């Protein structure tokens, strides 16, 4: 390439860097907080992993701030130390009750909230001051009534955001711009699509931007429809509405990373995929595929840091996951139990994630040598002023283009790195990617050779789209164990190649035979010996030569013998080590009349009891001494246990009062019980409400109900228990709580 072009290219790169100095951080929380105290870390080793630490319970809406410093359900805000504020006006039942946005030149966060069901608290915002973790006392009303929808995307200039909401009893979208320091409260209004009104269920459902900020999708749960729009990221307006019906209570929506697939979840446990690569209502509607049907309620769908889409399944200890969202149909690989939540549970909501700082991406098609490689820009190309491509061919000075849909013919087989400069929104984006240029496959079965009769010799066909072997099989690998000639023909879209190999001989392998596995006593040893002629190499445990080997430790000893043709014979010998028996009948014990107990020596060997029994265990209900002798090859050892049979009456004593004042005396109401089974204690208040329950006789009531100390007064207790024979009893009474 010319010197002039290279200089211009360097200047363009510098220009791109300067224009991006003040770039708004994308909202990329790699930790999520949601549901019933559930939390997931997406940067954990091995993939998404549940962790403890969430203090939040929310049936629906939730959000996490940029970097994961704060999280909220619309009512309260938490950080890792606890509640920061509980003054927000968002409703935790709202689908998208809360949203965090941080201006690029401010240390503070803006918190947007929505009411549920189109309620009167509407769309509001307040500020969270990072210096002291405090929030503004009074939230500001932006819209008095909205549906339960809040979505965020980065403005094309990368220093500003769009916050999108939908007015209630209206078809109007309200797009608010967040500049690099503050919120601009005068919105851009677009009237388009369905009027959101009527039943509160018509306010429910999610709204999402695609990752390239050129599309918007939303669900209107009560009306049973979802809608898709194009979004003008420069001006904040929506257009080209497509309405998709025939859905029973749609709730969650999400785009794949490229914006070519659209996913919808429903309250009735359905998960659908749409192909939206062609913007045509009939095509999109007919492309619908049912991916899953479940008895559980399906909630939010959310694209995550790892580019997978996660599904919230109501009351489930797992997040569902779509592993390959850009693949059509079942190839997207939906897994219901994708991420275990460590005993915590999902609800309907997941925190919104705006991941992509770029507005565009770029792809190049695979091609054969001499064929045409086509390039495509992903994103809304109507925002682009101009482009400049460098196709990365170091052998040419004409590997550039200014077309939006360029092509190029590469001269040789190689993986090329290409660069695209996009001029838009008064700035320059620099994108890079790789494109592979293919050639015909290369068939090489290796040199002619000989093999051993106990080795399945594997011929590897190489890398191709299809394989054809001499016997018409079509696998990549082929096993041979007979002399003869073998060939393979490889084919890909760029051509065909073949190769042949001959198996000259199949040699017999030497036999390696060791004695049968055995057991010896500790401290003893065994000598293993073999006899072969001088042409055979002998190796014990792969390293020790010689025709004999002493074994004294438990484990596996291997013998390998190799003849002059390189053929190998192998055998294993397993030695077990035994010791003098150590029977253990346990401690002397007492049982109740009518009960029986089983004694077991708990050691392998031959048994003889003082009762005459010769089994490994005996069962008895009689008092007396029981002696067992256990014998093996290493000796005989005995053990003794004494059994006492007693009359076991049930004992239950219940205190009449307790004083849970923390002085260490009589703070817990706990009955004393002996010889009872299936124990259950319940405590009720004067209205009959169950306020405490336990099945543990060692656990009592501390006077608290839902974390608060109960009032002074009398409380009813009920104890259910069984005796040894399974007969159930019930006892009732009162206990007085005194302070």
pLDDT in tens, 53-84: 799 999 999 999 977 889 999 999 998 888 88
Average pLDDT over residues 192-208: 97
* Owner of token pair 């619908």: 288
Give the pLDDT of residue 401: 96
pLDDT in tens, 452-479: 998 888 999 998 999 999 999 999 999 9
SS3 sequence, 127-139? EEECCCCEECCCC
At 168, is the pLDDT very low, low, confident or very high (cuts 50, 70, 90)? very high
| Among candidate residues 212, 201, 97, 191, the one with its CA nearest the CA of residue 149 | 97
Report the alpha-carbon distance of residue 204 to residue 148 in Å, rounded. Answer: 5
- DSSP for 320-360, please give it: EEES-TTS-GGGG-EEEEEEE-TT-B--S----------S-
610 token code pair: 């003082």
| Among candidate residues 361, 429, 437, the one with its CA nearest the CA of residue 399 | 437
Q: Exposed, middle or buried by CB within 10 Å (0-12, 13-18, 19+), for 352?
A: buried
Give the pLDDT of residue 147: 98
Q: Which of 169-173, 362-366, 722-726 has the lowest mean pLDDT?
A: 722-726
Burial 134-153 (b: 16+ CB within 10 A, else e): ebbeebeebbebbbbbbbbb
C-alpha pair distances (Å), 453 with each of 238, 481, 559:
72, 7, 19
Per-chain mean pLDDT for the chain: 90
| Among candidate residues 361, 377, 357, 356, the one with its CA nearest the CA of residue 307 | 356
Does the structure show a pLDDT above 80 at 433?
A: yes
493 token code pair: 């879209």
C-alpha pair distances (Å), 358 with each of 130, 153, 156, 211, 349:
27, 11, 8, 9, 26
Give the pLDDT of residue 648: 75
Give the pLDDT of residue 356: 54
Q: Which of 15-24, 75-84, 214-223, 271-280 has the lowest mean pLDDT?
A: 15-24
Give the pLDDT of residue 131: 66
Give the pLDDT of residue 9: 43
Structure letter (DSSP) for residue 555: E
Contact status, residue 680 vs residue 720, Cβ threshold 8 Å:
yes
Give the pLDDT of residue 120: 95
pLDDT in tens, 319-357: 999 999 999 999 999 999 999 999 999 999 999 987 655
At 173, is the pLDDT very low, low, confident or very high (cuts 50, 70, 90)? very high
At 526, is the pLDDT very low, low, confident or very high (cuts 50, 70, 90)? very high
Q: Under CATH, to which class is 31-340 assigned?
A: mainly beta
Q: Does 651-737 match 31-340 at the fold level?
A: no
pLDDT in tens, 587-645: 999 888 778 899 998 888 899 999 999 999 999 989 999 999 999 889 999 999 999 88
The superfamily CATH assigns to domain 589-646 is Immunoglobulins (2.60.40.10)
pLDDT in tens, 661-670: 988 899 999 9
pLDDT in tens, 369-409: 989 999 999 888 887 889 999 999 999 989 999 999 999 99
Report the alpha-carbon distance of residue 514 to residue 569 in Å, rounded. Answer: 11
| Among candidate residues 170, 166, 126, the one with its CA nearest the CA of residue 149 | 166
669 token code pair: 């109401």
Give the pLDDT of residue 88: 92
Give the pLDDT of residue 4: 31
Between residues 12 and 226, the one the model is more confident about? 226
Q: What percent of the chain has pLDDT over 70?
A: 95
What are the residues facing 724 on neighbouring strands? none
pLDDT in tens, 511-520: 999 999 999 9
Give the pLDDT of residue 10: 37
333 token code pair: 């690989």
Q: Which of 354-358, 546-550, 692-696 has the lowest mean pLDDT?
A: 354-358
Give the pLDDT of residue 19: 35
Between residues 220 and 591, the one the model is more confident about? 220
Q: Exposed, middle or buried by CB within 10 Å (0-12, 13-18, 19+), for 308?
A: buried
CA dihedral 398, 402, 406, 408 (to 10 degrees): 10
Average pLDDT over residues 137-151: 92
Report the alpha-carbon distance of residue 567 to residue 571 in Å, rounded. Answer: 14
Task: Decide yes or no: CATH 3.40.1190.20 for domain 518-578.
Answer: no
Report the alpha-carbon distance of residue 515 to residue 555 in Å, rounded. Answer: 14
pLDDT in tens, 234-256: 899 999 999 999 999 999 999 99
Q: Under CATH, to which class is 651-737 assigned?
A: mainly beta
665 token code pair: 């005396």
**Residue-range domain boundaries for the chain:** 3-20+361-427, 31-340, 449-507, 518-578, 589-646, 651-737
Element (H, E) at 677: strand 677-684
Task: Decide yes or no: CATH 2.40.50.100 for domain 3-20+361-427.
Answer: no
Q: From the CA atom positions of the chain, what is the Rg in Å?
A: 38
Give the pLDDT of residue 357: 53
348 token code pair: 């309907």
Average pLDDT over residues 535-550: 93
Cβ atoms within 10 Å of 443's Cβ, excluding its own = 20
Does the structure show a pLDDT above 80 at 15?
A: no
Give the pLDDT of residue 137: 61
């Amino acid at each position: 390439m010319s010197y002039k072009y290279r200089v211009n290219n360097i200047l363009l790169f510098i220009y791109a860097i300067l224009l991006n100095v003040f770039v708004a951080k994308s909202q990329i929380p790699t930790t999520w907080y949601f549901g019933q105290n559930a939390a997931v870390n997406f940067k954990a080793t091995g993939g998404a992993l549940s962790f403890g630490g969430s203090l939040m319970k929310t049936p629906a809406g939730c959000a996490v701030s940029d970097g994961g410093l704060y999280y909220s359900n619309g009512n309260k805000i938490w950080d890792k130390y606890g509640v920061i504020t509980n003054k927000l006006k968002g409703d935790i039942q709202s689908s998208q009750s809360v949203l965090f946005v941080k201006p690029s030149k401010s240390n503070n966060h803006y918190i947007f909230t929505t009411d549920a069901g189109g309620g009167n608290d509407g769309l509001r915002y307040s500020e969270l001051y990072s210096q002291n973790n405090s929030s503004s006392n009074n939230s500001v009303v932006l819209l008095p009534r909205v549906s339960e929808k809040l979505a965020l995307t980065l403005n094309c200039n990368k220093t500003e955001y769009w916050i999108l909401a939908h007015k209630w009893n209206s078809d109007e979208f309200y797009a608010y711009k967040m500049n690099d320091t503050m919120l601009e409260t005068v919105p851009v209004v677009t009237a388009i699509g369905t009027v959101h009104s009527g039943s509160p269920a018509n306010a429910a459902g999610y709204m999402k931007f695609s990752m390239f900020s050129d599309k918007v999708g939303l669900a209107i749960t009560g009306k049973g429809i979802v809608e898709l729009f194009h979004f003008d990221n420069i001006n904040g307006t929506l257009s080209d509405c497509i309405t998709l019906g025939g859905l029973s209570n749609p709730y969650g929506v999400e785009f794949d990373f490229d914006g070519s697939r659209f996913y919808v979840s429903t309250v009735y446990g359905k998960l659908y995929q749409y192909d939206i690569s062609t913007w045509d209502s009939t095509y999109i509607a007919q492309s619908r595929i049912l991916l899953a049907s479940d008895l559980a309620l399906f909630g939010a769908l959310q694209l995550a840091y790892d580019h997978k889409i996660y599904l919230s399944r109501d009351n489930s200890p797992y997040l569902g996951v779509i592993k390959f969202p850009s693949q059509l149909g079942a190839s997207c690989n939906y897994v219901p139990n994708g991420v275990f939540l460590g005993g915590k549970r999902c609800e309907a909501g997941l925190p919104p994630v705006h991941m992509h700082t770029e507005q565009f991406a770029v792809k190049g098609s695979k091609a054969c040598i001499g064929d045409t490689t086509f390039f495509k820009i992903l994103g809304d190309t109507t925002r682009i002023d101009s482009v400049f491509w460098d196709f990365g061919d170091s052998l040419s000075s004409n590997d550039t283009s200014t077309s939006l849909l360029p092509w190029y013919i590469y001269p040789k087989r190689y993986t090329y790195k290409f660069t695209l400069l996009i001029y838009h929104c008064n700035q320059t984006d620099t994108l890079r990617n790789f494109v592979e240029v293919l050639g015909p496959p290369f068939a090489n079965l290796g040199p002619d050779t000989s093999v051993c009769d106990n080795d399945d010799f594997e011929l590897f066909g190489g890398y191709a789209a299809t394989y054809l072997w001499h016997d018409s099989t079509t696998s990549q690998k082929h096993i041979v164990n007979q002399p003869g000639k073998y060939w393979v023909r490889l084919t890909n879209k760029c051509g065909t190649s073949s190769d042949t190999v001959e198996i000259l001989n199949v040699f017999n392998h030497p036999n390696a035979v060791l004695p049968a596995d055995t057991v010896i006593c500790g401290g003893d040893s065994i000598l293993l010996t073999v006899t072969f002629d001088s042409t055979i190499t002998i190796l014990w445990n792969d390293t020790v030569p010689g025709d004999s080997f002493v074994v004294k430790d438990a484990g596996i000893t291997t013998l390998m013998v190799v003849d002059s043709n390189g053929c190998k014979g192998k055998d294993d010998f397993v030695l077990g080590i035994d010791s003098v028996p150590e029977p253990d009948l346990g401690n002397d014990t007492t049982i109740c009349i009518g009960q029986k107990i089983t004694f077991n020596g708990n050691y392998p060997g031959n048994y003889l009891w003082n009762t005459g029994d010769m089994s490994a265990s005996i069962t008895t209900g009689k008092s007396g001494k029981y002696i067992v002798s256990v014998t093996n090859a290493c000796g005989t050892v005995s053990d003794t246990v004494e059994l006492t049979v007693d009359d076991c009456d049930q004992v239950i004593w219940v205190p009449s009062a307790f004083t849970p004042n923390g002085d260490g005396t009589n703070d817990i109401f706990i009955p004393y019980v002996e010889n009872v089974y299936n124990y259950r204690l319940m405590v009720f208040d004067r209205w009959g409400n169950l306020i405490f329950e336990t099945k543990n006789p060692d656990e009592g009531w501390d006077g608290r109900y839902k974390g608060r100390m109960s009032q002074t007064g009398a409380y009813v207790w009920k104890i259910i228990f069984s005796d040894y024979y399974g007969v159930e009893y019930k006892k009732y009474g009162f206990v007085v709580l005194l302070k």
